Amino acid sequence: MRQFTDWQITTLLLDAAVWTVVLSLIAFVGGALLGLVVTVMRVSGKKPLERLSAGFIAAVQSIPLLMLIFLCFFGPAVVGVEISPWVAAATALILFAAAFLAEIWRSSIQAVPRGQWEAGKALGLRFLQVFRDIVAPQALRLAVPPTVGFSVQVVKGTALTSIIGFVELTKAGTMLNNVTFRPFFVFAVVALVYFALCYPLSYASRLLERRLASR
């Protein structure tokens, strides 16, 4: 057993938390981009595209995130491709975020009255123009609070990637516990760091919800 001061443990955990943040950002930004594509497909009115996107959303939402991570990590090995925990973790989280964001955004878009689509279409605007200039700006107001709220799920979701060996906050906590045998202290710090990351996001989500509702 090695001796670590409380301060050393804390700084090591904070270092690892950087990877939690980086992974969260990649998952959220990547998930948002892919989610946008899935959303547009979902509301395109084109049956094959709608089925494909609905199928993707249903599949990802019905699988525990942990299984998604396993599939992304062990799946490529089946076809002989070695893949780093890093890439597997990012891929799984991007898919996870894309599916949930697409579903949040679909419901925001469908809350915009049909007459808005029709009025845009009747003016000769193409589908993507109606979407971008008329529907999306109105849907955005409805979508912002739940989107920010969902980012909390992404941050917490990164903890599961520790299982395939990606060293982020949770994995670092497990490793430090193994050498220090101070589980309560180590995991209390881990929990505090998660709280510090997530609470501002849920707070912002609530604040935005009130702001946008009062307009």
Partner 1 sequence: MPHVPGTQETAVKLVGVNKWYGKFQVLRNLNLSVARGERIVVCGPSGSGKSTMIRCINGLEEHQEGRILVDGTELTDDGKIGDAIRREVGMVFQHFNLFPHLTILENCTLAPMKVRGLSKAEAEEVAMHYLTRVRIPDQAGKYPGALSGGQQQRVAIARALCMKPKIMLFDEPTSALDPEMVKEVLDTMVGLAGDGMTMLCVTHEMGFARQVADRVIFMDKGEIVEEAPPAEFFDNPKNERSRQFLAQILH
Which stretches of the chain bind partner 1, using CB under 8 A?
113, 115-116, 118-127, 129, 133-134, 137-138
Closest approach, Cβ 103 to partner 1, in A, equals 23
Least distance from C-beta 113 to partner 1, angstroms?
8
Query: Cβ closer to partner 1: 113 or 200?
Result: 113
Measured from the CB of residue 109, what is the shortest distance to partner 1 in angstroms?
Answer: 14
Contacts of 61 (CB under 8 A, 6+ apart): 99, 100, 103
**CB-neighbour burial class of residue 83 (10 A; exposed 0-12, middle 13-18, buried 19+):** middle
User: Closest distance between partner 1 and the C-beta of residue 98, in Å?
Assistant: 26
Which alpha helices (DSSP H) does the chain contain, by range? 6-42, 47-62, 65-78, 85-110, 114-122, 127-130, 136-157, 169-180, 183-214
In our burial notation (b when 16+ CB lie closer than 10 A, e otherwise), range 190-214 reads: beebbeebbeebeebbeebbeeeee
Q: At residue 145, what are phi and psi to the nearest 5 degrees?
A: -60, -50
Tell me whether residue 137 or residue 165 sits nearer to partner 1 (CB atom): 137
> C-beta of 90: minimal distance to partner 1 in Å?
35
Residue written as tokens 């670590």? 4
Please report how close the Cβ of residue 31 comes to partner 1 at its closest, in angstroms.
Answer: 26
CB closer to partner 1 out of 55 and 137: 137
The answer to whether the beta carbons of residues 68 and 96 sit under 8 Å apart is yes
Q: Which is nearer to partner 1, 120 or 157 (CB)?
A: 120
Which residue, 126 or 206, has its beta carbon nearer to partner 1?
Answer: 126
Tokens 């809350």: give the residue: 111
**Which lies closer to partner 1 via its Cβ, residue 23 or residue 112?**
112
